[in-house]
Amino acid sequence: MSNRARLIVPAVVACVLGAPAWAAEGAPEGVSGEPQSAVWTDKELNFVYMGFTTRYSCDGLRDKVRDVLLDLGAEKKDLKVMQMGCSSPSGRPDPFPGVRVKMRVLQPADAPDAKPTDQPPVAAHWKPLDLKLRDSFGIDSGECELVEQIRHKIVPLFATRNVDLKTTCVPHQASAARPSLKMEVLVADDAQHPAGEPQAAR
């Protein structure tokens, strides 16, 4: 083998072996899977919390739901979360606190419920999410019932996959371990989900 060949072969091997590392370094943090074309879609929701273990004030529930919606990828500028059917004074626990939601969420451009829009599709990606209710969720396992209701009534409005809910809810009794709700959510490539405002007392 000539001296020139001895120099070229190691260089080619180094390029091939090094390519995956370069690709990984250039990928956006938190991206899962291939890029996805998506469109913003209008959604509405009436959510009434019914639980036995933990009770919430109407404004406290409103703030928690708002934070969850932002974490799941709702567009912040058009998000409206309004109290509904509340009978207790502000800051006091309500028997059946509720909220009415109007929002825009991302759906894959080829999804059956992706309605036609004048706006062009946006670049999106799947992002892993460990959903937490801010402030108290890390220490208060009494929110198990709320987490279950979020999973069944709110999460289906978003583009998600690999949803994994682990709870051991027992009425009138705080769970020994905090509930776990993990999934992948579809978010815009330039999406930012800032923390919500300080929540009112439950």
- At 85 the pLDDT is 87
Mean pLDDT of the chain: 76
Nearest C-alpha neighbor of 104 from the set 93, 114, 89: 114
Phi, psi of 143, rounded to the nearest 5 degrees: -85, 15
Mean pLDDT, rounded, for 82-95: 86
Q: Is the pTM of this model over 0.85?
A: no
Q: Is pLDDT at 29 greater than 60 in this prediction? A: no
Dihedral sign of CA atoms 153, 34, 193, 133 in order = positive
Given a cut of 80, whether residue 170 has pLDDT beyond it is no
d(CA 59, CA 49): 13
What integer pLDDT is reported at residue 134 of this predicted model?
60
Kindly report, residue by residue over 117-167, the tens digit of the pLDDT: 667 899 999 999 998 876 554 445 568 889 999 999 999 999 999 999 988
Question: Contact, 143 vs 137, CB < 8 A?
Answer: yes
DSSP state of 53: S
Query: Beta strand 32-48 with 80-84: parallel, antiparallel or unpaired?
Result: unpaired
Report the Cα 135 to chain-centroid distance in Å. 17
